[in-house]
A = this chain, B = another copy of it.
Amino acid sequence: MNSFGRVLRISIYGESHGLGVGIILDGVPQGIQLDIEDFKEDISRRKPGKLGTTKRIEEDIPEFLSGIYHGFTTGAPINIFFKNKNNDSKVYTDFKNHPRPGHADFTSTFKYERYNDIRGSGHFSGRMTLGLVAGGVVAKKITNFLLKKISDNSLEDIEYKTEIIKIGKLVYSNNSLEIDKEIKRVQSLGDSLGGVIQCEIFNVPIGLGEPFFDSVESLISHGIFSIPGVKGIEFGSGFLGCENLGSEFNDCFINREGRTLTNNNGGINGGISNGNKIIFSVAIKPTSSIFKNQETYNFKSGKIETLKIQGRHDVAFVLRVPIVIEAMTALVLTDLLMKIVK
């Protein structure tokens, strides 16, 4: 199942070292202006090139295979394709027999009976998230298009702020120099780092989501855990907040817009957005591909053997994930918005 969403329905396809990767968006309203320029900013946020990220740099220019006409969406499915260019598959040879710890080599080889394309992790690659980022761009445009249509400017655009709040054990905001040092140190060890990303969404209309299976938390978490490497999510004040008493945790209302004094619930009550900022944090594991030797079972030899991974890898792929989280969230919230606005 590579599809997600009810009204705005996305499907992703592709492989890391195949022809390319892409996304189809079905259900996009007609009349939204869309060109390649719109994608540049978000795609560049996902690109490597900074300290701690891989040297495989792709151009990542979106190609519209369908659904755009004269620069506007037509209402037909939009297929956005990204060709792979800078892939080097030579170094991925024996991972079916000697699977990399933390990766999907073992499970995908078992499940797909060794027919899986393991080059660059194939369909399991983080490169698949490029399609999600492109989808997020379209989602954001849809949201603002719909809000404009209904609001007579009474509603503001939904805005996203997504940033890393922790790398390894270091809190980001007040440690950026230390963090650079830590990344270099870990890189020199041939090791890797994880982190935590926080996503805040402003100006969310009241009423998105439903009780139970279409709760805002259910759908966001469903989407977020689809992103490779995510190990946890918490809304509002999260795990720590749940240590408090009810009288401390409850968010009392303070005005007729439904603003609350605190926001421990993260902008959601009973699965439905309450108009306050939606806020959640996501735990991202350290990059599984490390250059350090690992002692792990070789299924061909039947022995635990040293595995030495080569190639180009992010020291901390968490650095590239904020825009992916943001895009996935935009896809979910836009889908929910489209249920109540036409």
Contacts and interface: CB of A to CB of B under 8 A. Distances in A.
Interface of A: 1-4, 6-7, 9, 11-15, 18-22, 24, 26-27, 30-31, 64-67, 69, 72-79, 81, 99, 101-108, 110-113, 115-117, 121-124, 128, 166, 168-169, 186, 189, 191-196, 206-207, 210-215, 217-219, 221-226, 228, 230-239, 241-247, 249-256, 258, 260, 264-266, 269-274, 283-290, 292, 294-297, 299, 302, 304, 339-342
Nearest to A167: B243
B342 A270 contact: no
Contact of A341 (B247, B294, B342): B342
B285 A242 contact: yes
Contacts of A247: 189, 191-192, 290, 292, 294
Contact of A213 (B65, B196, B215, B226): B226
A256 B1 contact: no
A76, A128, A194, A251 pick with most chain B CB within 10 angstroms: A76
Given A11-B11, A65-B19, A112-B30, A242 B252 contact: no
Instruction: Identify the 6 closest CB pairs spanning chains A and B, nearest first.
Output: A104-B270, A232-B234, A192-B246, A76-B123, A253-B297, A107-B272
